[in-house]
Amino acid sequence: GAGVSQSPSNKVTEKGKDVELRCDPISGHTALYWYRQSLGQGLEFLIYFQGNSAPDKSGLPSDRFSAERTGGSVSTLTIQRTQQEDSAVYLCASSLTGLAGGPNEQYFGPGTRLTVT
Amino acid sequence: QKEVEQDPGPLSVPEGAIVSLNCTYSNSAFQYFMWYRQYSRKGPELLMYTYSSGNKEDGRFTAQVDKSSKYISLFIRDSQPSDSATYLCAMKKGNNRLAFGKGNQVVVIP
């Protein structure tokens, strides 16, 4: 598995339920990012992890959204009490380093398509 | 005003034509300018990035940056049906979040 993997690929949930989305970054990549892609809105930054530093959570749209990264590798994005407006594709990306000053090319996974009914 | 503007209108061209895409931006702090290609139901993949004003070529793809006008372009020469995808511009400041345009869906008709 050379690329970023995400699971599940599709998730349908009822309004009000909690969901967990998983991301496995490329091995050795220290930086991990979550984005949301909605129809007509483009990609929206959610959260960024770099090594053991405190994550940049400035893009999370509400306190119903949270994410963690365990052991500097796998990350889980949790959405509590889902709403219909949370329906989107959630994309994870990783880069070799997240240090400022370089392009830090981000490699994206295939995304999780979330539908809230 | 969004930091990055990309007219999301779809674009259909005949095979062999030149595809021209562009984005404008408002934040002069952006340092890196990227183009991503996204096929349907896939994640975006990085095509190329540039750091300074000027042109950068990679095969049939040319990226152009004009920092004075805050304007970037992507040109695809001799377009192929396999180029049919959504193209997203993205920009990065000193931190690592990318600011994306909304994307252009390109269809190359055989």
Is 60 exceeded by the pLDDT of residue A1? no
Instruction: Suggest the residue from B6, B65, B97, B105 to mutate for an interface test with chain A (most A CBs closer than 10 A).
Output: B97
Provide the pLDDT for residue A2.
79
Other C-beta atoms within 10 Å of A54: how many?
Answer: 7
pLDDT band with cut points at 50, 70 and 90 for residue A98: low
Burial class for A101, CB neighbours closer than 10 Å (0-12, 13-18, 19+): exposed
Whole-angstrom CA distances from A80 to A20, A67, A116, B65 are: 9, 11, 12, 41
Residue contact A100–B51, C-beta within 8 A: no
Percent of all residues in chain B with a pLDDT value above 90, rounded to a whole number? 75
Are A23 and A74 contacting, i.e. CB atoms less than 8 angstroms apart? Answer: yes
Provide the pLDDT for residue A40.
72
- Secondary structure (3-state) at A70: coil
Counting one residue from chain A and one from chain B, the pairs whose CB atoms sit within 8 A come to: 66
Residue contact B49–A43, C-beta within 8 A: no
Residue contact A43–B46, C-beta within 8 A: no
The whole-angstrom separation of Cα A1 and Cα A23 is 13
Least Cα separation, residue B1 to chain A (angstroms): 14
Are A4 and A92 contacting, i.e. CB atoms less than 8 angstroms apart? Answer: yes
Q: Of the candidates A42, A50, A109, which has its C-beta nearest B100's C-beta? A: A42
Is 60 exceeded by the pLDDT of residue B18? yes
